[in-house]
Chain A
Amino acid sequence: MSANIKSVLEGLNKKELFEIANQNKIIIPNSWSKLLIVELLALNVSADNIQRIKAKPSEPKIQFEGSSTIIIKDLVKKFEDVTAVDNLSLEIMEGELFSLLGPNGAGKTTTINILNGVMKPTKGTAIIAGFDVTKNLDEVKKIIGSCPQEAAVFKFLNARENIELFGKLHSVSKNELKERTDTLLELLGLTEVSKRKAGGYSGGMLRKLNLIIALISDPKIAFLDEPTVGMDARARRKTWEFIGSLKKENKTIILTTHYIEEAEALSDRVGIIDYGKLVELGTPKELMERYKAKNLEEVFLNITGRRILEGI
């Protein structure tokens, strides 16, 4: 350990210091001052580790082919003194299945809630299929389908009634509504229970209904916020296959999930956010190569390990 490494560390900002700590599996409490972090890291890391972090841009550069259907620009969302989304910028391509990963409280759901119009951003904006969510939300709502994290269905209605209600709110024609309802119920295995009140459904069945409702209008863009959480392994696999099949319809899908293997199997690209910031972006393969990891879960733990180890 030399004074040279210490002086390099002193030249980094706190976020970069945390990144070095992450990569070296060193746990640092958030409350620590920069001085203390530098002292700890100077004793535990080599010059190579620092070089690798410094070489990586603090915000990932985005390379695109084709047209972007979602453009998120400097998005900020603050709740009193907590910044849930912190200057997030990102572009998602038409027909892409994009997974947003991050630990609990990283800002995934808040980001989705801004994109689908449930929340207004504190700063910045997002353009969806050419419409600004802060100015043309009515137009945005016509082309999106949204599957919230918690199943939000009318418990006193049966599956068919729930689906038809949302179809009518999207002005789906009667014939198309019946056809799509039948198809989606069949695909997700709910046909037999479709006339039973949703209040009597298991958690997994409610999740499937939650997902069907999001897709009944045949949206160009679908926001699926942890759509398979609470499903048993078999139902989860079946739902993954179903979500994967949506890519063939050229739908743009934004998926948040805690099942990293789900993201790895389905996604064209993955964005990892932490503390509301985008900290990594790329195809699952690119990320695994970048971090010399066997799978995406290893990449995820490498990047967000500090928070998980701290139990935040």
Chain B
Amino acid sequence: MKMQALGALVNVELKKLIRHPVNLFMNLLFPALLTVVFMFTFSDPELGMSINSVVPGLVVYAVIFLIMTVAQSFSSERKLLRRLNTTPMTSTEFIGSQIISNMIIAMVQVVIVLFLAYLLGFRPESSFEGIFLSLLVTAIFALSSVGLGLITATISKNPEMGVGFSFLFILPQMFFGTFMPLSSSTQEIAKFVPSHYLFDALKLIFEGNWMNTNFFLDLVVISIVSILVVLMGIVLFEKYGSR
């Protein structure tokens, strides 16, 4: 892997985040907006939800919406991907740049959500190490969003379809894997939703209760699922998506 090429591609992805209005909104402004709205709406003690349970869900929301931006980006840039394919760039460099840039974006999202939540009264029990750990766990989970984004791009013929199909993966994770109240049967479904484990891990971190087996299991599931999903996304997109 050539670091010069990898660095150049990561640089382009981060410029895309800042300069592309849709990406800027979806990746940075949308999580900020969600944080403000949800903090006011759901953190009311009368609803039986604590701020500490809402904030992990907001981080999850921010990261799962990466699926949409990855899918849209890949399905709208097929011509460019074909051109990049005529250069000595390897697929490892290209996918590596997508993974690194989306991990960076995910970490920035965590910082935005936590900063705004703090301003609105969120006080996590965890120390600075815990905050750092939340960045790390979220960055690992971002891999699954890149993978699901690639799978979405593979089945989408154009960016509009990419946005539409991305909700196939976003909605279940939003409703089954965060702070939405679940019945006993839907709680079983939640166990098959990756975001459930990120939500649980972040909740444990923010409660200052992460030095235990539950957190370790969450971390293992997040890591294995994210790596498998991103590998599946890479294989499917390389085989069928870049045509």
Contacts and interface: CB of A to CB of B under 8 A. Distances in A.
Interface string A137-158: 0100110101010101110110
A146 B86 contact: yes
Interface string B75-115: 00001101111111110000000000000000000000000
Nearest to A167: B8
Given A116-B86, A138-B88, A164 B5 contact: no
B12 interface: yes
A235 B7 CA distance: 35
A165 B14 CA distance: 13
Given A118-B82, A146-B86, A154-B80, A169 B5 contact: yes
A194 B179 CA distance: 49
Nearest to A149: B79
Interface in A72-102: none
A162 B82 CA distance: 15
Interface residues of A, number: 26
Interface in B1-27: 2, 4-5, 7-9, 11-12, 15-16, 19-20
B4 A168 contact: yes
B20 A156 contact: yes
Contacts of B20: 156
Contacts of A118: 82, 85-86
B11 to A, nearest CB: 8
A150 B77 CA distance: 12
A197 interface: yes
B85 to A, nearest CB: 6
A117 B85 contact: yes
Given A118-B82, A148-B79, A152-B80, A141 B15 contact: no
B79 A150 contact: yes
A146 B86 CA distance: 7
A148 B84 CA distance: 11
B87 to A, nearest CB: 4
A168 B93 CA distance: 12
A169 B16 contact: no
Contact of B82 (A148, A154, A197): A148
Interface of B: 2, 4-5, 7-9, 11-12, 15-16, 19-20, 79-80, 82-90
Q: Which 9 A-B pairs rank lowest in CB-CB distance, beginning with the nearest?
A: A168-B8, A152-B83, A146-B86, A156-B19, A169-B87, A152-B79, A116-B86, A169-B89, A141-B88
